[in-house]
Structure formats: C-alpha cells, structure tokens
A and B are shown apart, each in its own frame.
Chain A
Amino acid sequence: MYESIEQLNLNDPRKRQQWENFLKSLGISNFSDKEINGIDLTLGMYDGNELVGTGSAAGNVLKFIGVCNKGVTQGARFNRIISELTSRLYQNQIFHILVFTKKKYSQSFQHLGFTELASTDSAAFLETGSPNITDYLDELPKVVDQEHQSIAGIVMNANPFTLGHRYLIERAASENDWVYVFVVNTDASLFSTDERVALVKQGTADLKNVMVVSGGDYMVSYATFPAYFLPDSVTNIAYQTTMDARIFRDRIAPALHIGTRYIGTEPYSNTTSQYNKALLRELPPKVKVREIKRLKTAAGQYITATQVRKIIQEGDVTRIKELLPKTTYQFIEDHLDMLELRIKKGMNIDGN
C-alpha cells in the first residue's frame, strides 16, 4: 500500500474543508488568516480519497504537519511527508529549514536529522540543513582570548537607528571589553535589513569595541518571533519570547562568551515589554541582564523609533533631528521620498 502525495490547493473550499477537518482531528485548530496566508506550499498524502497526512511550508518554516498512523508502520507516513516537503524546499534553493512543534514530536524530527535549538515544557524549535546555527556562529567575528573578556550582547531592530540605540550601545561599550550588536534580520520593517545594518554600523563607527552583526534566523526573526512584527495574542507572545530567550541563553551566549545582555526599558510597546520580562526571567543566572533606562530628549520625551517613523510619515523631518545620529538623519533626508512611498504602499509603521 503506497499512498500518493500531491500539492493541495487551499483556495479550493472542498480541499480546504477536508484539510481543516483532518488537522482538527489531530488537535491542530489555529486556522487564522494570518497563519494561512503565509503558507507557500501545502502537501497532502492520500490513501484513496482519504487524506492521511499533510504538511505545509511558509518560507523556510514547516507548519501544519499532521499524519494518521492508523494501520501503518509508526512514522512511515511522517517521514514521507517531511521528506517530500523538504525536497521541494531544496529544489527552490531553500536549504535551511526550521520547525516549531509540540515537545512530544521533537524526537520524531530529530530522527530525520533535525537539531533541537531550544524547548519549553510544551514546545520545541528545531532546524535542519545548511547553514545551521554552528555555521552562523562560526561566521561571526571573534576577538583574541574571548573567553576571558567581558562580552555584552544587544539585540535591536533599529528601525531606524536612533540616539536611544546609540546610548544603549555606549553604555554597554563603556562597561564591557566588547559588545556584539545583533541587528534583526527580517525584512518586515520600514527600513530594510541592509539599511538598518548600515545605519547601525555608521552610527557606531567611532566605538572600536562594538561589532555589528546580523541576528540571523535566531534572534527576533520572523520565523521565531512573528509577534514582534504582527499583533498577536498574549499566549503566543509569551511562548515566542520564552523560546527566543532560551535560544540566546543556551546557544548564542555560551558560544560567544556573552556574559551580559543589555536591554532598554520599554515604556510603550506591549510586545517589547513582554519580551524584556521573558529575558529577565529566562537569562539569569547564566547570562546577566542589564536594563538601561531609556534616553529622553531635552524636552523630557522618550526617544523611540516608532516616533521617528510617525514623523517621517508626516513629512516634517526637521523635528526628528534631535532624536537621531547625523548618519541616520542624513539617510532619511536623502531618501525621504522612498520611505514615504513605502509607507503609502502599506508598510506598517506602528509595530516594532
């Protein structure tokens, strides 16, 4: 008995219904538009007319994996569906694949060559393929005798880089031998990843003990922490922030000998303040957390990138001059038309 695998078109209402019913019978029930719209590919495994297995991919993340094992060798269908799904991604030149799953399925994925990066009581986050987290860490710049130095880490989206970010980095740089600044590597912000990285580099060029690097798929990426970019429920935020904090604690910090993570206090954004809470709860004692009070302007206003983006939308950029390093201000002045066009085209500026 060999089942056929075919691509499922979820826009077909009958197929969609069959697919949802099948997943519901296996305990998967989050079919929000946000989840469904992100899907690039869905496969279905059929025994006759009956759907007996399915798996989907959104970018390089596997989702909605489910198989029925009734009457067949345990794991055979699971292996086939994952095999087919990963081969299709490989054909599209996607060689690094991630999956979030329930803790109890982590082992099944590990049998197929996936490596667990972090887990909580209920969930696990795994990756396979290349480049993996070891490759990512190998590529990062290192300093001589790193294990005996005091190293700090900061993760920022810097959308765009403000004097507030600069202040946080300066504090870390003055209190430590070296600072890694990980810039979020997801293009879901007004400023593109390349622009954000370039502005952080330019804005910290005078600080000789600061290394500005990409956060890869491992720090606040769209894959691990979608709630950072799109509004989400409290439960999802809690679960994603915990996972993100544990990856940093167990994978990133030990490899780079990072002893302290610096964060800025968060007066406005609910997601970010939840994130800070998760970091304070998860990182110590392995990694210290230094919460630095956010910088204020002369007029007593907190400096936020959100505010900068609002003013860009309104167009009167001279008002943000006092919030930004010269390099960022120059970039905005030179590219104002392009930025405003992005906002007009629907780029969300209220998030992070």
Chain B
Amino acid sequence: MEIKQTAVAGTLESSDIQIMLSKGNHGIEIDLESDVKKQFGDQIISVITTTLKKFGIENAKVKAVDKGALDCVIKARTIAVAQRALKTTDQPAWEVL
C-alpha cells in the first residue's frame, strides 16, 4: 500500500508514543527517540514494523517519539497513523487488530 499523505498519531505525554508517517522509498525507515531506547528500542521498532507490514506498507519514513509506551499503545498508535496516512480511516482494518 502507498502512503497517500503525511499523518501523525499519539501525543508526547508520559506513557504514550507519537508516530509520524510519511512517504519513503527505501523500505521502512524508523527514526526513534526514546529514553528507554537502549533497553526497548528493538522491541518498539519491531512492533511498529510488524504492524505496518500488516497494512501492506513496504516503504515509509517513520518518526517515533516514545515516552514509555507499552506495546499495546505502540500498536494502537501505529494502526491509527497508518490508516490516516493511507486515507482509510472510514474502513477499520479489523484483521490487523
């Protein structure tokens, strides 16, 4: 699936993650900012990548600012931002959940 527009989901408050998704040409490139990057960086990146792949997104620039979000939050924010970027918010992607 092609990214149609830049989109954002999430906030910068504690326990949340803010994800921005925009067009890219070199696979899924993730730029992650997190205070716990050392411990959980790989895990966060894997949740984002897996979720995006379920939407069929192969190329995207992802900018994520994590404030200690749990995996379920990361997944929810990724789903929201993907649907916004693909302009499919009117068709919830149940199979991804």
Q: Which residues does chain B contribute within 8 Å of A110, judged by CB atoms?
A: 33
Contact A80 B6 (CB under 8 A): no
Contact B33 A113 (CB under 8 A): yes
Whether A113 touches B14, Cβ cut-off 8 Å, given contacts A95-B20, A130-B6, A130-B22, is: no
Q: How large is the interface on A (under 10, 10 to 19, 20 to 34, 35 or more residues)?
A: 20 to 34
Q: Which residues does chain A contribute within 8 Å of B20, judged by CB atoms?
A: 90, 95, 129-130
Q: Which residues does chain A contribute within 8 Å of B8, judged by CB atoms?
A: 86-87, 90, 95
Whether A112 touches B12, Cβ cut-off 8 Å, given contacts A83-B18, A130-B61, is: yes
Instruction: Give the CA-CA distance A135 to B24 in the complex, in Å.
Output: 10
Contact B13 A111 (CB under 8 A): no
> Is B2 an interface position by the 8 A CB rule?
no
Contact A87 B63 (CB under 8 A): no
Instruction: Give the CA-CA distance A110 to B65 in the complex, in Å.
Output: 10
Chain A at the B interface: mostly helix, strand, loop or mixed?
Answer: helix
Q: Which residues does chain B contribute within 8 Å of A128, judged by CB atoms?
A: 63
A80-99 interface bits toward B, Cβ cutoff 8 Å, 1 = contact, 0 = none: 10111011001001010000
> Is A144 an interface position by the 8 A CB rule?
no
> Is A348 an interface position by the 8 A CB rule?
no
Q: Which residues does chain A contribute within 8 Å of B61, judged by CB atoms?
A: 130, 135
Instruction: Give the CA-CA distance A110 to B67 in the complex, in Å.
Output: 13
Contact B13 A83 (CB under 8 A): yes
Q: Which residues does chain B contribute within 8 Å of A129, judged by CB atoms?
A: 20, 63
A113's partner among B6, B7, B22, B63 (CB-CB below 8 A) is B63
Contact B12 A130 (CB under 8 A): no
Contact B14 A79 (CB under 8 A): yes
Q: Which A residues, 280 to 311, have Cβ-Cβ distances below 8 Å to chain B? A: none
> Which residue on chain A has the smallest CB distance to residue B32?
A113
Q: Which residues does chain B contribute within 8 Å of A90, judged by CB atoms?
A: 7-8, 20
Whether A79 touches B63, Cβ cut-off 8 Å, given contacts A113-B18, A131-B22, is: no
Instruction: Give the CA-CA distance A103 to B49 in the complex, in Å.
Output: 35
> Which residue on chain A has the smallest CB distance to residue B21?
A130
> Is A338 an interface position by the 8 A CB rule?
no
A: residues with CB less than 8 A from B are 76, 79-80, 82-84, 86-87, 90, 93, 95, 110-113, 128-131, 135
Q: List 24 contacting pairs A-B, 8 Å CB cutoff, sorted by A.
A: A76-B13, A79-B13, A79-B14, A84-B11, A86-B8, A87-B8, A90-B7, A90-B8, A95-B20, A111-B33, A112-B12, A112-B33, A112-B65, A113-B12, A113-B63, A113-B65, A128-B63, A129-B63, A130-B6, A130-B22, A130-B61, A130-B63, A131-B22, A135-B61
Per CB-CB distance, the 3 closest pairs between chain A and chain B, nearest first, are A113-B65, A83-B12, A130-B22
**Besides A76-B13, A93-B6, A128-B63, 7 other CB < 8 A contacts?**
A79-B67, A83-B12, A83-B18, A110-B33, A112-B12, A129-B20, A130-B22
